[in-house]
Structure 1
Amino acid sequence: MNQLTGMILVAGSSPSTTNIHYLSGFTAPDSFLYMKTAQGGLLVVSAMEKGRAIKQSTPGTQIFTPADLGLKGKKAWNKVEQIRILMEIAQLRRILVPVDFPAGLFHALEKKGFKIAIERKAICPERKVKDKAEIAKLRKSQQAAVAAMKSAISLIGSAKIGKNGHLFIEKEFLTSEKVRQLIHKTLIDHDCAGIETIVAGGDQGTDPHERGHGPLFAGQSVILDIFPRSEKTGYWGDISRTVCRGPASAELKKLYNAVKAAQAVALRAVKAGVCADEIHGLCKTVFEQRGFETKEVDGAYVGFIHGTGHGVGLDIHELPRVGASGETLEPGNVITIEPGLYYPGLGGVRIEDTVVVTESGYRYLSACPKKFELL
């Protein structure tokens, strides 16, 4: 970064908040400012948050309250004034802002004559490669995800099959909501929060981001997608499994086996130096060879309708993307491998693991069995 240029980040949107967390070690529920310079970071927080910011922030981060900047009354929380003084302190002439910067604040800075431009590249490209401490934090979250997955599969597997294929636990319908509740309780026991957890049975599972609702049935695929965030570190885990209580039809087993085979082929290809596009292409090839087309039917796409994976860190979806991205994998990337197939009338299947890329292959953050039929 040019010595005369600073990068202003405003906590509030997910990318900027997690970038500030990565750069400074600090996060808070309220909006606050961070300035990234060639010499280090400058953080503006409320007086209430100053003590915590001093304890949590990385060495070299300068911490200010509005009062420290000489701002009082209405000017105390005027971000334009805060930025003006930070620029004076850091002896800057120009500022850059990320693409998620608030439009109103951008306009106000322009109106006041600041030399301001939008940085369209990644603000912290180094986030793609995790160090040992980050990998340890991610492993904790993934272990929580695996524990929750095992509890959910155990519950579904213990359900009784009633009339019309309804699943029952102690004379009550087993529902997506009840399974999700157990998942979230398990995650809380591991100091993690479950957010938008997916328990989607039958045709609900053919929409990859449908959370799922209502009774679950025997003989149908149930997609379980658990992605917890650690309450302590802010790092995420991510895992998906697909199960079927009772015998599955031959076509549904064929669907599951295709996804399992595609994931195995993709995982074997993971290593440093491989282009993510190649991994995605291998999954597509497996599906095509097994007769599972991706196409448009009645205005909606069916088949393999999403990428093969994504990076995981302080954001649940971050770089590198494992799909048509052109990105090359590096040692220390933490990525998901999650091929899936979705056909209304038959069901959806997704299998996902989060792994660390190494020079020669990959390591699971936390392994979890893959079993489809729960008989």
Structure 2
Amino acid sequence: MKDRLRGMQQSLKRFNIDAMLVNKPENRRYLSGFTGTAGSLMIDNNKAYLFTDFRYVEQAKEQSPDFTLVQIGNDYYQKVLHLLQQRGLKKIGFETDFVTHESFAKLQQELSGIQLFPVKNITEELRLVKDMEEQQLLQKAVDIVDQAWSEILSIAKPGMTEEKLALELEFIMRRKGAEGRAFDFIVASGERGALPHGVASQKEMKPGELVTIDCGAVYNGYHSDMTRNFMLGKPNQKQQDIYNIVLEAQMAGVEAVRPGVPAATVDLAARNVIERHGYAQNFGHGTGHGVGLAIHEGPRVSFNEQLVLQPGMVLTIEPGIYLPGWGGVRIEDIVLVTESGGRVLTKTPKNQLPVI
């Protein structure tokens, strides 16, 4: 945590502010280790404070030893102002993408004499590159999904609803150590596979349908994300062909992951394959996204993302083809950027379309 705190303190100089207020839960956790649901950080060049109420005092002491704990009731703003005045701090940043207009108006009203500066992505930029501890936690979250996939294939069958399958999958992940699901699972069978975010419904899966599952686990705050497909019966030629095209595109995207290239280069590698096969209009989302304390974070892997990949970044590669009235296919792995290229953390096989 000390390295993360130092990183934030160095960023203050770059943003030309005296201190930063941090309220977004994943940013608060990243910088302090505090997992309580109510709290705020104030970080300046030399000191770091954690504000929380009576419920979380002992937890904060244990989880955030590098922070000075300030217990609050209804006097949060008064205590922040007192510390700012005491330390002679005038220019204070706040998270412009998280603080609501109402909260900002309250800050302006209560922090009299303090200059408030909207700051975007100051913590998120630090979170782009995962340290070794974060990489290990992400691998554990990935492993849980890998282990659950083999079990869910033995449970899935025609006549089962998508919701039932999603629920069984979540139960399996929790038994294997997940603290929760990373998002509402996508289980899209048959024609519903054309919905990129076809959250599990009450539709019954039928023989001859291709099923797409997009799922993830949370382990110690870190998220995994994987998409795989299976057939309820032998695939027809079109189902196999579409699967093979998406697989080719996904592997091309993974192969393009390496340090020093813009994220857009990875997107283009996958997108070119799908375009070459004539399905450019049926792949309308980015090829991937970063993953960590949030299920979607930087870097974006899209056609216009010029952020250069660095070792330690972790991202998904998930191209797809979606055909209204027919269905769809998406294949997704989590990939770690290393000094020599991309290392796929996801181990669930993908080279063959599973048949149930």
Q: 1:6 aligns with which of 11, 16, 19?
A: 19
Distance 1:349 1:90 in 2: 57
Determine the structure 2 residue equivalent to 1:110.
108
The offset of 1:153, in angstroms, is: 2.1
Distance 1:349 1:87, change over 3 A: same
What letter corresponds to residue 22 of structure 1 in structure 2? Y
**1:205-255 deviations in Å (ceiling 9; x for gaps):** 21111212220012222111111112xx20111111011111122112111
TM-score by structure 2 length? 0.90
Q: Which residue of 2 aligns with 1:220?
A: 209
| Aligned residue in 1 for 2:353 | 372
1:357 aligns with 2:355: no
With 103-112 and 316-325 compared, the bigger mean Cα shift is at: 103-112
From 24, 29, 36, the counterpart of 1:28:
36
SS of 2:153's partner is helix
Residue 38 (structure 1) shift: 1.5
Question: Is the CA contact 2:229–2:354 (under 8 Å) kept in the aligned structure 1?
Answer: no
Q: Sequence identity, in percent? A: 31
Query: Quick check: 1:204–1:212 contact (8 Å CA) kept in 2?
Result: no
1:117 Cα deviation from its structure 2 partner: 1.5
Other structure's SS at 2:207 match: coil
Residues 51 and 76 of structure 2 are in contact (CA less than 8 Å); yes or no, is this contact kept in structure 1? no
CA distance in 2, matches of 1:188, 1:257: 32
Mapped pair 1:85 → 2:101 = no
Query: Counterpart in 1 of 2:3?
Result: none
Per-residue CA deviation, residues 138-157 of structure 1 (Å, 9 max, x unaligned), is: 1111111112222222222x
TM-aligned CA deviation for residue 90 of structure 1: 3.8
Q: Structure 1 residues 17-26 or 209-218, which shifts more?
A: 209-218
8 A Cα contact 2:193 2:328, kept in partner? yes
Q: Deviations over 1:80-135 (max 9, x none)?
A: 21321231344311211111113222112223433112013443412111111110
Asked if residue 276 in structure 1 is aligned to residue 263 in structure 2, the reply is yes
> In structure 1, how many angstroms separate the alpha carbons of the residues matched to 2:249 and 2:189?
22
SS in 2 for 1:8: strand
| 1:246/1:373 contact within 8 Å kept | no
Is the 1:312–1:335 contact (alpha carbons within 8 Å) kept by the matching residues of 2?
A: yes
Unaligned runs of 5+ in 1: 11-15, 67-75, 160-166, 168-172, 295-302
SS at match of 1:325: coil
Q: TM-score, normalised by structure 1?
A: 0.85
Specify the SS of the correspondent of 2:213: strand
CA RMSD of aligned residues (A): 1.7
Aligned counterpart for 1:41 among listed residues 23, 36, 48: 48
8 Å CA contact 1:226, 1:239 repeated in 2: yes
In structure 2, distance between residues paired with 1:229 and 1:140: 9
Deviation at 1:267, TM superposition (A): 0.9
Contact 1:151 1:182 in 2 (8 A): no
Q: Deviating runs (4+, > 6 A) in structure 1?
A: none
The residue number in structure 2 matching 1:343 is 323
Q: Deviations over 1:165-212 (max 9, x none)?
A: xx1xxxxx2111221121111111122112301111112221111212
Give the letter aligned to residue 106 of structure 2: A
Work out which of the residue numbers 160, 167, 175 in structure 1 matches 2:161.
175
Q: Does 1:201 align with 2:181?
A: no
Measured in 1, the distance between the counterparts of 2:83 and 2:214 equals 43
**Residue type at the aligned position of 1:347:** G
Q: 1:285 to 1:366 in 2, by over 3 A?
A: closer
Q: 1:63: which partner in 2?
A: 69
**Kept after mapping to 1: 8 A contact 2:124/2:298:** no
| Aligned counterparts of 2:354 and 2:124: Cα–Cα separation in 1 | 43
Distance 1:121 1:188 in 2: 32
8 Å CA contact 1:252, 1:346 repeated in 2:
no
Separation (CA, whole Å) in 2 of partners of 1:96 and 1:17: 17
With over 3 angstroms needed to count, the CA separation of the structure-2 counterparts of 1:176 and 1:65, relative to structure 1, is same
CA contact (8 A) 2:18 2:92 kept: yes
Q: Give the Cα separation in 1 of the matches to 2:101 and 2:196.
A: 32
Of residues 312, 324, 329, the one that matches 2:291 is 312
Give the total of aligned pairs: 335
Tell me the equivalent position of 1:163. none
Contact 1:21/1:27 (8 A) holds in 2: yes
Aligned counterpart, 1:69: none
Task: State the alpha-carbon separation in 2 of the partners of residues 366 and 266 from structure 1.
Answer: 14
The 5-angstrom pairing of residues 237-316 of structure 1 reads: 237-294=224-281, 303-316=282-295
Distance 1:269 1:110 in 2: 47
Distance of 1:201 and 1:40 partners within structure 2: 53
Q: Report the structure number with the largest CA radius of gyration.
A: 1
Q: Is the 8 A contact 1:338 1:350 kept in 2?
A: yes
| In structure 2, distance between residues paired with 1:4 and 1:224 | 45
Name which of structure 1's ranges 107-116 and 131-140 shifts more when overlaid on structure 2. 107-116
Q: What is the deviation of 1:78? A: 3.6
Structure 2: gaps (5+ residues):
1-11
Superposed CA offset, 1:269-288 (max 9, x none)? 11111211111112221112
Distance 2:335 2:124 in 1: 21
Relative to structure 1, the CA distance from residue 252 to residue 62 in structure 2 (aligned partners, 3 Å threshold; closer, same or farther) is: same
